[in-house]
Chain A
Amino acid sequence: MDTMRDRFAPVVSRLLDEDPRLAVVLAEIGLDGFQDAMRRHPDRVINVGIREQLLVGAAAGLALTGLRPVVHTFASFLVERPFEQVKLDLGHQDTGAVLVSAAASFDWPAGGFTHMAPGDVALLDTLDGWTVHVPGHPDEAETLLRHAVAAGDDKVYVRLSVQSNRQGRLVDGQRFVTVREGRSGVVVAVGPLLDTVLAATEGLDVTVLYATTVRPFDAAGLRRATETAGTDVVLVEPYLAGTSTTAVSEALSDVPHRVLGLGVGRRELRRYGTIDEHVAAHGLDAASLRERIGGFVEAGRVPVGGRGPVSVGG
């Protein structure tokens, strides 16, 4: 199967042919895929060299002239290195862009921590007005890229990963999808972690929501799910654990609820190896997730004639 990133250049190249407003800005990374598009649209496929501050600043300038820039490199160099440019040149200038990252939290474990960005979504959460798409399959990546490009002058982040679910699902760029219904808790599985979450919750009486657009957070969708499944909520996110716990707490602020945020650990692992080894090290494999989700849901169950643990908000 191809990867999400394999879809990026072909999809955006076609969009460049269709939409004269579109421009692509690169900093060497990902350039190969745009060679043909660059020949057809030499002024709208721009490679600034290995210059990530200029990458984002130039995108803002393009947007100020009315174009729709799509900006791509690894997440660490797209969101973290030029963060002030993301904050000021896009946010403060009131301009928009589509930032499309690759490498995710640990797509290249042998590359080490320099090429890992588990904090990207949390970092964007310090800013206002960002839409964040986290596709879980190449087909979804294609759909969400089109949504992102078509979203006027909005600020949109699309997080591509080589980790993927086996099948793509219908996603609309806004709402969570109900994949399974239960009565003893809600598990929100984000992007590429859906298959593992479904395996981990097999036989558990929980609702599983699938989230590929995490900002804005589908608070209404979560609330609806809690009406039948109760207000024990587990988040399983492919980036920093707890990134969306605030969003859950805001969605459920007027009702007693419990929330468990699972994801990539904050502590630097300082290991190379394979993706699977990193998944396991962060407790994101099916067996570990089952233990943690099962334990959380079980702990929230009110025994007959007794009281459950005190409910806590986030």
Chain B
Amino acid sequence: MTTATDLGRTHGYDDLPRLMGLMTGDEKHGPAATSTLDVLWVLYDRVLRVTPERRADPDRDRFLLSKGHGPMAYYAVLAAKGFLPAEWLPGFGTYDSPLGHHPDRVLVPGAEIGSGSLGHGLPIAVGTALGLRAQGRTDPAVWVLIGDAELDEGSNHEAIAFAGPAGLDRLHTVVIDNSSASHALPGGIAARFEAAGWSAVTVDGRDHAALYAAFTAPHPGRPHVVVARVEPKNA
């Protein structure tokens, strides 16, 4: 049983399996949850300039979880970094819990958007990048995490096609590629972004050093996508 001592404490990568274990699983969402774990950890641990204290800071980095299915890894990382108390985790999905099987920004501290329906995060991230730019806030980075099958949604293609020519260089997308799309993009995921003028890198989604290098690669004048390959969903 967890105790109040977890409140305000931060945890390390090794604590994540225990934190995820506190949430009772929805089996369907299990693979989706672990596929994002390493990407989320590297982002929150080493890349994103956002902390629980900076949640309302207009100059914070934004992370938008578009792939809202299987959010256990997301909740675990948010708990590990002190955005939400680990005591909340065992209530996952229950009536009185703020933690649903899809996250709700109104209920989850640190969640920038509510997600679940596929294809909403990237267009919202485009607007967030535009809004920050319009206010002269050129420092904050906007990150959005989507899945490879989520790329099937046309709304994402609208956003990809716009963001490149618009030169949204503070916009970053991570595609978790667990080969779950029934009809994969011909030529590969990165090529689709590159054709629209994005900077693109494809890496091993479990390799923290490779992920960090990909996340921090310079991309002047262009939005940046990191395709993080993990083990196939149906393997």
Q: Does A62 contact B (CB under 8 A)?
A: yes
Q: Closest B residue to A65 by CB, please name it.
A: B131
In the bound complex, CA of A89 to CA of B124 (Å): 7
Residues of B within 8 A of A92 (CB): 104, 114
B123 at the interface (CB under 8 A from A): yes
B158 at the interface (CB under 8 A from A): yes
Report if A88 contacts B (CB, 8 A). yes
Enumerate chain B residues within 8 angstroms of A94, measured Cβ to Cβ: 105-106
Q: Among B1-9, B21-29, B132-140, B197-205, which stretch is in contact with chain A?
A: B132-140
Is the beta-carbon distance between A93 and B130 smaller than 8 angstroms?
Answer: no
Quick one: closest A residue to B104, CB to CB?
A92
Residues from chain B with a CB closer than 8 A to the CB of A89 are 120, 123-124
- Who on chain A is nearest to B140 by CB? A65
Chain B contacts to A: CB under 8 angstroms: 58, 104-106, 112-114, 117, 119-120, 122-135, 137, 154-155, 158-159, 161-162
In the complex, how many angstroms separate the beta carbon of A21 from the nearest chain B beta carbon?
A: 9
B58 and A66 contacting across the interface, CB-CB below 8 Å: yes
Interface string of A45-60 (1 = CB under 8 A from B): 0101101011011111
Interface residues of A in 57-94 (CB under 8 A from B): 57-67, 69, 84-85, 88-89, 92-94
Residues of A within 8 A of B105 (CB): 93-94
The answer to whether A93 and B114 have CB atoms under 8 Å apart is yes
A54-B155, A88-B117, A89-B123 as given contacts; A65 in contact with B128, CB under 8 Å: yes
What are 18 contact pairs spanning A and B, CB under 8 A?
Answer: A23-B131, A43-B133, A44-B134, A51-B159, A53-B155, A54-B155, A57-B159, A58-B126, A60-B123, A60-B127, A61-B127, A61-B131, A62-B134, A64-B112, A64-B127, A66-B58, A84-B117, A94-B106
Q: Which residue of A lies closest to B113 (CB)?
A: A93
Q: Are B134 and A54 in contact (CB under 8 A)?
A: no
Q: List residues of chain A with CB under 8 Å of any chain B CB.
A: 23, 25, 43-44, 46, 48-49, 51, 53-54, 56-67, 69, 84-85, 88-89, 92-94
Task: Say how far A67's CB is from chain B's closest CB, in angstroms.
Answer: 5
Q: Is the CB of B130 within 8 A of A58?
A: yes
Contact of A67 with B131 in the complex, beta carbons under 8 Å: yes
Q: A53-B154, A53-B158, A85-B155 are in contact. Are A67 and B123 (CB under 8 A)?
A: no
State how many angstroms separate the Cβ of B148 from the closest Cβ of chain A.
19
Chain A hits for B114, CB < 8 A: 88, 92-93
A82, closest chain B residue (CB) = B155
Q: Which of A49, A56, A66, A84 contacts B131 (CB 8 A)?
A: A66
Are B120 and A57 in contact, with the CB atoms below 8 A?
Answer: yes
Minimum Cβ distance to chain A for residue B40 (Å): 20
Q: A43-B133, A61-B128, A64-B131 are in contact. List 11 more A-B contacts (CB 8 A).
A: A25-B127, A44-B134, A49-B161, A51-B158, A53-B155, A54-B123, A57-B124, A59-B127, A66-B135, A85-B155, A88-B114
With A and B bound together, what is the CA distance between A221 and B7 in angstroms? Answer: 52
Nearest CB in chain A: distance from B130 CB, A:
6
B58 & A65 in contact (Cβ 8 Å cutoff): yes
Distance A44 CA – B135 CA, assembled complex (angstroms): 9
Q: Are A46 and B130 in contact (CB under 8 A)?
A: yes
